Amino acid sequence: MTQPRDVTLSQILTVAQMRAAEDELVAGGLSVEALMEVAGRGAGEYVRRLAAGRSVTVLCGPGNNGGDGYVIARHLMEHGNPVTVVAAREPATAAAINARHLFEGNVTDGHVIVSGDVFVDCLFGSGLSRALPEDLLALVKGLSAAHHLTVAVDLPSGIESDSGAPLNHDLPQNDVTIALGAWKQAHWTMPACANMGVLRLVDIGVTLRQNAPRLLLRPRFQAPAPDAHKYRRGLLGIVSGAMPGASILSATAALRVGAGYVKLLHPDSRLAACVAPLPELVTTAGAIDDLVSDPRLAALLLGPGLGRDDTARRHLETVVTRGVPTVLDADALMLLGPDIPLKAPTILTPHEGEMAALERAFLLPANGTRLHRAKALAKQARATVVLKGPDSIVVDASGRVVVAPRASSWLSSAGTGDVLAGLIASRLAVHGETLRAACEGVWLHGEAARLCGPAFTSNELAQAAGRALAGALA
């Protein structure tokens, strides 16, 4: 089945996958030179619009990233934009040598730092395999400091493509990064992604790779069906615990994004009395087994404010044996282990600390990239995992991966995780699909934060979730 182009363009490739994709295009009859022409022209057009007639300096390295630089420079020259190339090293690949020959403009060797308006970094791209040597590091930093804007082509030089790790200290901040052909892991991975500025992608015709991670795109939400009623839209049970305020935050969010009925379930009736009621939230107190036995429950959420004592553990054991799609968050993740088998489709939403606890419990090594760690946990626990942070990742047990773009750093405040759990659980109550619910929840969370602007509380974030959903209705 052919996929819409925006789905194909949302894939995030490793260097090996990108090379395989390029080899496939070459095997299909395109030359590397032709691909470089498409990539360089595409990037050149972004640079031309950004420069708007101002002077551009293009730093070219020895490989094909440098080759792209010569194509960009030629494109700018053809459009009458002043451009200078700084050749840090002589071109060393056939395609780069060809691109160098075709450029008839100004080329300097980099011994003097040229100043100007827009600096375009084409020193290294996905071929970077070790730290930049001192002279090249000084050149990138010097040129970036001597220009008003810095644009990285494919990747900022000094960043490792597959891990997002900076291979040098003190690399310059980019205003724009133009990815070529496909997104690479580094574009969406901390710390590299925080240094890339605005991200753009040039399409060179790469096809869909099997099992490649995808970038989280805006979901499309449906209004309730004409004959909808509250139970058919999904009954969500949120189990409260030692700190009931956390589950109120989850419920505030959940009420706004799809579930037709959200119930707060209080296994401790004394605590139920301490909670300030929300008029739209139904609250029920009773024994945990009775509370979760309602056959109409479409999803359950357990963890926010749960506590970590024996009672909390018993609540967790009861919830996971119930067989209803479930979100486990916060304290529930500190209690979970292989001795508590998950009977129903389950979503785990750990932050880094909870992830470390789960790795200990499931005897997983806590090394490798966050992507590899999340995949290992999802497989071992047979659950969908949302590994939270500035670069959140969603992975399901079969290994499908969706990477969220960086969200507002104002989300780094207490209680926003409870809101996320409520959003995901509400979507799960609507349709029961774990990967989809996790992605929708993460998207709604990021969008609600964007709508809130700076300095919001977690309660304000939860309240904004309805507006986030409204903006993405089909």
The answer to the question of whether 69 is labelled as a binding residue is: no
Helix axes 64-78, 94-102, angle to 10 degrees: 20
Going by their DSSP bridges, the two strands 198-202 and 183-184 should be labelled as unpaired
The whole-angstrom separation of Cα 162 and Cα 86 is: 27
**Assigned token pair, 172:** 């310059």
From 111-119, 130-138, 139-147, 408-416, give the range in contact with ligand NAX by CB under 6 A.
130-138
Span interacting with ligand NAX, options 124-132, 185-193, 225-233, 288-296, rule CB under 6 A: 124-132
Contact 186, 163 (CB under 8 A): yes
Q: What is the amino acid identity at position 211?
A: N
User: Given the complex with ligand ADP, which of 351 and 400 has the nearer CB atom?
Assistant: 351
In one-letter notation, the amino acid at residue 59 is L
Q: Judging by DSSP bridges, how do beta strands 235-239 and 346-348 pair with one another?
A: unpaired
Q: How many CA atoms lie within 13 A of 451 on its CB side?
A: 20
- 392 carries a ligand binding annotation: yes
Task: Count CB neighbours of 211 within 10 A.
Answer: 10
Q: Which residue has the tokens 């030359």?
A: 31
> How crowded is the C-beta side of 411, counted as CA atoms within 13 Å?
25
Residues in contact with K ion by CB under 5 A are 121, 125, 152-153, 157
Tell which positions 200-229 bind ligand NAX, by CB under 6 A: 204
Say which residues have a Cβ less than 8 Å from residue 406's Cβ, sequence separation at least 6: 188, 190, 193, 194, 390, 391
User: Is 373 part of any known ligand binding site?
Assistant: no
| Pick from 266, 303, 308, 301: nearest CA to 287 | 266
Shortest Å, Cβ 246 to ligand ADP? 7
Residue of 82, 105, 389, 405 that binds ligand ADP (CB under 6 A): 389
By CB under 6 A, is residue 385 in contact with ligand ADP? Answer: no
| CB of residue 24 to ligand NAX, shortest distance in Å | 10
Among 121, 154, 418, 447, binds ligand NAX (CB under 6 A): 154
- Residue 63 near ligand NAX by CB under 6 A: yes
Residue 36 sits in the site that holds ligand NAX (CB under 6 A): yes
44 touches ligand NAX (CB under 6 A):
no
User: Which residues are within 8 A (CB) of 115 and not within 5 positions of it... i.e. 6 or more apart?
Assistant: 57, 146, 147
Quick one: what does residue 81 bind among ligand ADP, K ion, ligand NAX, none, with the CB cut-off 5 to 8 Å set by partner type? none
Q: Confirm or reject binding of residue 411 to ligand ADP (CB under 6 A).
A: yes
Smallest distance, K ion to C-beta of residue 260, A: 50
Q: Which of residues 303-342 bind ligand ADP (CB under 6 A)?
A: 330
392 binds ligand ADP (CB under 6 A): yes
285, amino acid identity: A
Under 8 Å between Cβ of 288 and 267? yes
Query: Taking CB positions, which residue lies at the least distance from ligand ADP?
Result: 417
Q: How many residues does the chain have?
A: 474
Minimum CB–partner distance for residue 70 and ligand ADP (Å): 38
User: Which lies closer to K ion via its Cβ, residue 121 or residue 329?
Assistant: 121
183 contributes a contact to ligand NAX by CB under 6 A: no
Query: Is the Cβ of residue 61 or residue 244 nearer to K ion in the bound state?
Result: 61
Please state the closest distance from residue 45 (CB atom) to ligand NAX, in A. Answer: 15
SS3 (DSSP) at 373: helix
Site string for ligand NAX, 68-97 (x = CB under 6 A): x------------------------x----
Residue found by looking up tokens 């009672």 in the block: 311
Q: Does 351 bind ligand ADP (CB under 6 A)?
A: yes
Among ligand NAX, ligand ADP, K ion, none, what binds residue 465 when CB lies within 5 to 8 Å by partner kind?
Answer: none
**Any contact of residue 130 with ligand NAX (CB under 6 A)?**
yes
Q: Round to whole Å and give the CA distance between 61 and 69.
A: 8
Which amino acid type is present at position 186? A
DSSP-derived secondary structure letter, 268: -
Binding residues among 418-447 for ligand ADP as defined by CB under 6 A: 418, 420, 445
Element containing residue 448 per DSSP (H, E): helix 434-452
Structure tokens at 176: 């724009």
415 binds ligand ADP (CB under 6 A): yes
The single residue among 50, 58, 60, 61 that binds ligand NAX, judged by CB under 6 A, is 61
3-state secondary structure (DSSP) of residue 323: coil
Which of 418, 459, 425 shows the shortest CA–CA distance to 441? 425
Binding residues (CB under 6 A) for ligand ADP: these are 330, 351, 388-390, 392, 407-409, 411-412, 414-418, 420, 445
| Annotated binding-site ranges for K(+) | 65, 121, 157
Binding residues (CB under 6 A) for ligand NAX: these are 22, 32, 35-36, 39, 61-68, 93, 124-133, 154, 180-181, 204
